Structures are given as structure tokens and as C-alpha cells.
Structure 1
Amino acid sequence: MRRCFLYFFILAIMLLLPRCTHNPFDDDKISSNMAKISGRVLLGDDKSPEIVHVWLEGFDLTTHPDAQGNFSFLLPSPSLQPYGGLTGSFKIFFFMADYKLDSATVMVKNGQLLTNHGDIDENGHLRYLKILPKKLRIFLSVSPDTAIEDSTNSLLLELRIEATADTVFIHYPDRSPGPLSILFIKNLSDTTQPVKIFEGSPFASAAPMLTDSVSINPLFWYDGVTLADLDLPKGTYQIIPFFVIDHKKVPADLLDNIGRLIDKPTLQFLDVPTYRRGGTFIIVESGNK
């Protein structure tokens, strides 16, 4: 009886074994002429997903969702891919600096999408909706929010940064007042005007970067900037403080896809998808306040 039982047990294992070791890349019957990958991604706090950086590794393809979060990729022809067509498992990454990183798995054989494998269904669509949780809140208060052109008065700045749950690390110039030592000032009234980079602390752009940890208990920084030093004409402006949200878990190739100088006080820093609140103020002509 024992010998009979053992025989059937071994037979059952042998029948199951091929299923456990099945490799879709070795199955010539699994193929697809589909080149389009689509899906949907949203932000956990209901902000518009239009600035989410959606990146497909291996192919180095980038796209951004529409207002409803829908996105799509079109794979290049296999003849335009390395080695005449890539084969393997690749990740689609969903990146926002102030939200948690997420990804989905895509399988490709000889440069063509394998549908109904990984996180892709039979129609080439992502099986599940992606929702990115917020991890860091950023708020900059500017007072007063309206000032007179050519005034010698100052703008008072209060920067508040807090994590939503887990600790988040940030990096900023080792100069007082920290993240407020370098400011990017955008003209919202006339976007053709160049962004002004203002250094409130001498040699801040050449200073080493200091690392700080942010928890659910907010951190605050304060500073004052004179309007004469800013030298701005009338218009509506936004101030963006320079600090880098740690992204050690983000693939280096994804970051390079955005820009190689995104961690530096250059205009590429503004290309990093981030939601910030506040920071706006208006300059009016004398007598119009």
C-alpha cells in the first residue's frame, strides 16, 4: 500500500512540475502583434495625475497621463530596438517626487508585447488601477501676498514640510536658511519670461548638501526677502524653494530621463514632478494695491 501511494504521489508531483516552471519566453505559441500598452494612474489625494512621470525601463519610453489618469505607450518596431527586439520582463514606473513610487510588470518577447502576462491583460491594458499615496506635504506662505512694484519692503517666507506617514529624507544647501537659501521665482502672468534663480545666502549654490529627516511632525524654515533684491516687474509670481526629496529607491535611468541636473540648483530641478502649495504673490503698480 505504501509503495502504491508513493508511486501516485511522485506521479502527481511530476504532472505539476511543468506548470510551476513554465517560462512564457520559451513558448512559441504565446505571441502578440500588439505594440500598445495602456493603463490608468491616479494620485491618492485627488490631485490631477497629468504630471505623473510614467517611464518604461529597457525602452526608455516616457509619457504623461491625461486628466483622468489614462496613459499609453507604443512600443517601437523590433527592428528599432536593441538586438533586433528585446526579450524579458520590464517595469513601468510611476514617479512623483512627493508620492510613493509604484510600478507594474510588462513582458516582452522579440520586441513584441506578451499580453495576458505580468500586470498586462489580454488587451494590452494594465490589469489594475494604480493609485500613488502622498508621502510629503510642502507649503510655502508668502506675506504679504500683494506688494507694490519698486517697493523696498520685504516678503516674509514660511516653509512647512511634513511627511504623511513614513519618514522622508530631504537634501538642501548647508546654508542658512536651509531650503530657502535658493529660490526659483516663476512669472505666472507671463510664462515666456525666464525663471529667476535667487540666492539669498552667499555661495549657496556651491555649498554641500545637508540631509534632514521629515516626519509627521512638520519642519519649519523662515526667511525674509526684500523686493528690491528680487527686482521684479508687476505680475503674479510663484516662489519654489530648492530642496531635493530623497529618491534612492528610484531607478537612476528614470531620473536621467527627466534630467541629469535635477539634483542641482538649475532649471532642470523644476522638471521633477512635484505638487507644492502656496508660494504665490502679486506685484502691482504703485497706487493699484
Structure 2
Amino acid sequence: MHKKHFRLMTFFLALGAALNFNCLENPFGSKDEIRDKRQTSGQVVYPGGAAAAGVFVWLDIYNLSTYTDAEGKFSLVLPATQSRQGIVEEGLIYFYIANFQLATARVKISEGEFMPLEGDLDKQSQVRESIVMRRAVNIVTQVIPASLPADTSFLLIRASVVADEGCAIVYNPLMPEVPYNMPDTAGLGAAIFRHLASGDFFIVRLDPEGRANERIVPCSYDSLHRELAISINQLPAMPAGKYEVIPYLLCEPENTPSGLLAKLGLELNELGANYLKKPMRRTGGAFEIR
């Protein structure tokens, strides 16, 4: 082969390889990757920077949803079939944990794509800043005794509820209203024992016939307590192991859109396996059967 032709062929082969290697890079020299603008993603954290896993993420105008992963990361992709030509839409991405304040990120969408540098998105149409989830209601559970067998005939489950700021509304299902002049401690309608190793769960109720729905208003300056005492002989047959004891309490962030709750699933408020799927963050509740 003629040397000139060989050199020309070598040049084009090298050029083709370089183009193939850099197919995900900006052709104008920037090192930024070209991203699918139908997709946006971001990071969700708690104050202090810890990753917020299991946060429900919902885009209102397209009714799209997902959950954050173990690292607090999320991604939403607009369906190609929902491209709306010539229309610029403004929407909100909501970040939801039932006993936390709602967090949001503003977005604009045009031609079925997230618009870069609009709302809270950066030049690659990703959420610019980490979303910070701030708690609204602290729910702390104590189990006495913390393990069985023990030298006692009763087990006490005590849920302490306090607002982080101001006051909040929490519901204690299956229990009647308590007069305002009554002490801060009253009955807890139900609790769930979740076996940590297997995920199996067991329900205990204070009143098997209870049908009411008590509305309680904990404040930052006045915590409220709800208790469920049960004879150890009346506990369901549960295998040995470590458990999380979860009080059956309901609350929602202020101004939560009805569409978000519908997408999440209203069945998540039902006592049982569905309730365990509801995004909530509690503390305490450790219990063990030896």
C-alpha cells in the first residue's frame, strides 16, 4: 500500500476511535457529559449531611414518583410519550417523610425535557443543591421490659410524641378523643412488632373493638405520651430474635398535596404490612425475645 494512503487510513482510524471513545463528552471541548434532559436526579440528606434513604419523591405535574436509595440519591425520567410541544410547564418535585417537613425543588419542563438553569436545576438539568429533610414530629418508643423473659407479667409500650417547632397534629387511630384537661398520658390504640431478621410482623391492640380516631396536638414545649400495656400471656406467639416495636400513629406534613398521598397509596395508613411501608422516621422501640 502506498505510504500516503496508509498514513491517511491510519489517521481516519485513529479519529474514529477517538470519536467513539468520547461519544459521551461535549463536542465543543467541555469535559461535562451530555445528559438525557428527560432525566433529573439529586441527593437527599438530613441536617448534618447523613444520607436520607427511603424518601418518597414525587413530581406533581407528571405524577411521577420514586424513592431515594440507600445513599439518598434519586432519579426521575420523563416518559417520551408525554412530550408537550411548545409548552413550558412549571412544577415541583416533592420530598416526603410523614413526620418531616415537606421539601421541594422547582423545575421547568419544555418539549418533554427538564430545562437547565431554570428553577433549582443546574446546567445539566440536575437538582443543584442537596435537599435537606427537617423533622416536624419526633416519635420515640420505649418498651418495658426491653427483653423477655423477664420478672414481670405485663409489657408496656410507650410512645412519646413532641413537635420540633411549634405544634403538630398526630392521629392515634382506634382510640377515642381524650378531654383536654386530662393528663398528657393516655392509651395507644395499637403497635406492631417487626422481627428484624425475617421482616415478619405481629400486631397488638389495646381495644380489639376500637374504631375511633383520636386527634392529638403535641407541641415543642409539651410532649404527649400514649401507652399500651398488655399481659405477656396475651402477646402473639413470636419467635426469638430482635424486634422493632412501632406505635400505630398517623401524621402528614403540612400542605401535603392530595395527589402525592394518592400516588403514595392511601392503604399505607392501614394497620398491618402496608403501614410498615409508609415513609416515617422514628427512634427507639428496641425489643428482644431471647
Who is 1:57 aligned against? 60
Who is 2:9 aligned against? none
Cα distance in 2 between the residues matched to 1:47 and 1:97: 18
Secondary structure class of the residue paired with 2:53: helix
Q: Deviations over 1:155-207 (max 9, x none)?
A: 1222111111121101113349866221122111222x3x2222221312xx2
Provide the alpha-carbon RMSD of the alignment: 2.6
Residues 142-161 of structure 1 correspond to what in structure 2 (within 5 A)?
Answer: 142-148=143-149, 153-161=153-161
Secondary structure class of the residue paired with 2:259: helix
Q: Is the 1:33–1:113 contact (alpha carbons within 8 Å) kept by the matching residues of 2?
A: no
Q: Is the 1:261–1:268 contact (alpha carbons within 8 Å) kept by the matching residues of 2?
A: yes
Q: Is the 2:99–2:253 contact (alpha carbons within 8 Å) kept by the matching residues of 1?
A: no
Who is 2:212 aligned against? 208
Unaligned runs of 5+ in 2: 1-34, 179-184
Measured after TM superposition, the shift of residue 267 of structure 1 is 2.7
User: Between the two proteins, what is the percent identity of the paired residues?
Assistant: 24
Cα distance in 2 between the residues matched to 1:121 and 1:135: 29
Q: Deviations over 1:93-113 (max 9, x none)?
A: 011112110111111123222
Who is 1:6 aligned against? none
Who is 2:167 aligned against? 167
Who is 2:191 aligned against? 183
Measured after TM superposition, the shift of residue 254 of structure 1 is 1.2
Measured after TM superposition, the shift of residue 46 of structure 1 is 5.2
1:76 matched to 2:84? The reply is: no
Please say which of residues 260-269 and 176-185 is displaced more in the overlay: 176-185
- TM-score by length of structure 1 reads 0.76
- TM-score by length of structure 2 reads 0.76
Measured after TM superposition, the shift of residue 244 of structure 1 is 0.7
What amino acid is the match of 1:181? G
Structure 1 residues 260 and 112: CA distance shift in structure 2, 3 A: same
Unaligned runs of 5+ in 1: 1-31, 285-289
Larger relative helix fraction = 1
Who is 1:28 aligned against? none
Measured after TM superposition, the shift of residue 49 of structure 1 is 0.3
What amino acid is the match of 1:228? N
Cα distance in 1 between the residues matched to 2:115 and 2:141: 46
What amino acid is the match of 1:105? R
